[in-house]
Every structure is written in C-alpha cells, then in structure tokens.
Amino acid sequence: MSNSASTIPLVDLVILMDTSPSMKDVANAVSDAVAAAITAAEANCPADLRVVWLGIEGRWRGTAFKRTLRTYLTKDCGVAEAKLRGRKRGELPSAGAQEDAARAIEDVSNHFDWREQAYRSLFYLGDEALEGGGGKTEAADIEAANLAIQSAQASHVRVHTYLGMSKSKHRDTIQPEYARVAAETQGQFFAAVDAPTNFAAVLEQIICGSQTPIYYKEINMSKKSSSQNSEDKASDAPPANETPTPEPPKSYVPTSMTGLQDYSYWWDYAREEAKKSGSKSKSFRRGRIWA
C-alpha cells in the first residue's frame, strides 16, 4: 500500500434492514442508489469503503439484501447462535422477528467482523417499533433501544437510522426512539415524508458522516458509582489514535435534497429525552460492495 493510500480512512458500513413486507420498496430504492452514492462521495469524502448488506431474518430478491444477519454472523464471522440476541423467524407473531431492530443492532455491534482501524457505521432502515416491531413504542421498545445504544457505544459503532412511512397512528411515538438511537451513538437520523426519498443523497451523507472518530466521555447507560477512583475515571479517555468529536457529524448533503423530514428537531428532542431518563486525501480507493 502506498503512503497516499494509507492516509485514506477505512469505513465499514453495514446496511441493515427490516424485511417485513412493507419495506420491499425501500429495499429496492436503497439498493438502486448505492452506486450513485459512492460515485458522489468520491469527490467529497474519499474512503476505503466496505459495504455489507444484511436483512433481519429475511432477504429481498433482486436487491442487495441477499443474506440474513444471522447467516452472516454465524457463517462468515463464526459466532455461535446462542450468543445472538435476535429472535429467529417464527418465534414472534407475524413478521416480528424480521423487525427485531434493537437486538439486531446489538448483534452487529458486538459480533460483526469490523476491520482493524476502520470507522464503524451501521445504517438501519425500518418502519416499526424497535423490539420485535409493532405500531407503537412501549416500555419494552425503550429498554431494547437502551441496550442497543449501550452495545453500539461500547463497540464504537455509529448508528444511523431511517424511519419509513407507516400507517400507524402512533408513528409519533416511534420516531423519537429512532432519533435517540442515532443521536446517542453520534449517527444521523432520517425520516420519510410524502416525497420519494433520495437514497443516493442519504447514503452519500452517511458515508461522509461516518469518517470521524467517536468519543464518549461516558457510556450513557452505564451506572457509575460515586466511589469510583481515579483509575476508573482514566478509562473515559479516548483511544490514543482518536480525538474528541464535540458535535454531531457534519451534513454534507442539504436535507432538502434527500426527500426527508428535517431531523434537527428530533435530534434535539432525543437529546432532551435522554437527559430526562437518566483530512483531505490526495487519492481515492473506490468503495467495494461486499455482497
């Protein structure tokens, strides 16, 4: 590898999807958009990009989502099934196992074969609540989101989320949790509106926004006692090769270009709710799509 190539940041991006029937059109749209997104990102944010597409307990024929999360982790990563938090298809009513988002985020964070030195990002797309789906956020969904956030933070995984259209009259209870998961892992949140989503712009924004270190002064969901000594507190320091990132990732693509609802409101909303609850490179290596 040349010296110039070695300065290009490594980015591992897992695109993870709810495979319930209502998400079929989204699966097609995001699959069709990736080539344009990578081409556009070449000029703005060069990276050695690895993209892996995974469906939760299901696959979408004719799309990039050709493997399930369970198959990838057990076959490609050698993880014992007993270690996975996600439920198998058939264990939950209806398509619940295919919408087991929070547990899937945990499993990716904890067991994916991240490349050494790579920035770690996960983009989750769904349209229902985070614990086995459902049209309304309940206590179990919030607790599951807390565990997902905790796992992502511990593994330094930046989680980006996309909430698709839903017929549920309680969608307003689901959106803040998607936003909170993204905000507390320094990711970006997107929500569909009536206009078609420009997924090429969304993916470009995610690729560019994934190229900064993640630094947490404290894992939000951890319980720290007042008796901690100075040695314990030293563990809060960022890794030697990382520097603090005091603000959310920069938006490289105006929100008006994405066909999405402006997520700044929900970012602030999620942050307040969480409080209540306790390089430019000289050359570019084209991103590789890992099927």
DSSP codes joined into one string, 257-279: GTTEE--HHHHHHHHHHHHHT--
Confirm if 73 and 88 have CB atoms less than 8 A apart. no
d(CA 157, CA 213): 10
Query: Which two three-digit tokens encode residue 70?
Result: 């369970």
Confirm if 161 and 190 have CB atoms less than 8 A apart. yes
Residue-level pLDDT at 159: 98
Q: Which among 43, 67, 37, 71 has a CA at the least distance from the CA of 55?
A: 67
SS3 sequence of 66-89? CCEHHHHHHHHCCCCHHHCCCCCC
Residue 31, phi then psi, degrees to nearest 5: -65, -40
How many other C-beta atoms are found inside a 10 Å radius of the C-beta of residue 134?
20
Residue-level pLDDT at 131: 95
Residue-level pLDDT at 83: 97
pLDDT in tens, the chain (291 residues): 333 445 889 999 999 999 999 999 999 999 999 999 999 998 899 999 999 999 999 999 999 999 999 999 999 999 999 999 999 988 898 888 999 999 999 999 999 999 999 999 999 999 999 999 999 999 999 999 999 999 999 999 999 999 999 888 899 999 999 999 999 999 999 999 877 899 999 999 999 999 988 876 544 443 333 334 334 434 444 444 444 444 444 444 444 445 555 455 555 655 565 565 554 443 434 444 444
**Sign of the four-CA dihedral 164, 268, 151, 77:** positive
Residue-level pLDDT at 217: 58
Cα–chain center distance at 234: 28
Q: Which among 191, 168, 113, 177 has a CA at the least distance from the CA of 148?
A: 177
Which DSSP string corresponds to the chain? --HHHHTSPEEEEEEEEE-SGGGHHHHHHHHHHHHHHHHHHHHH---EEEEEEEEES---TTSS--SBHHHIIIIIS---GGG--SPPTTSSSTTGGGG-HHHHHHHHHHHS-PPTT-EEEEEEEESS-TTT--SS--HHHHHHHHHHHHHHHHTTEEEEEEE-----TTHHHHHHHHHHHHHTTT--EEEE-SSPP-HHHHHHHHHHHTSS----SS-TT----TT--HHHHGGGSPPTT-----SPPP-SS-GGGTTEE--HHHHHHHHHHHHHT----SS-PPPEEE-
Q: Which among 119, 178, 185 has a CA at the least distance from the CA of 154?
A: 185
Q: Which residues of 146-163 are buried (b: 16+ CB within 10 A; e: fewer)?
A: bbbbbbbbebbbbbbbbb
pTM across the whole model = 0.76
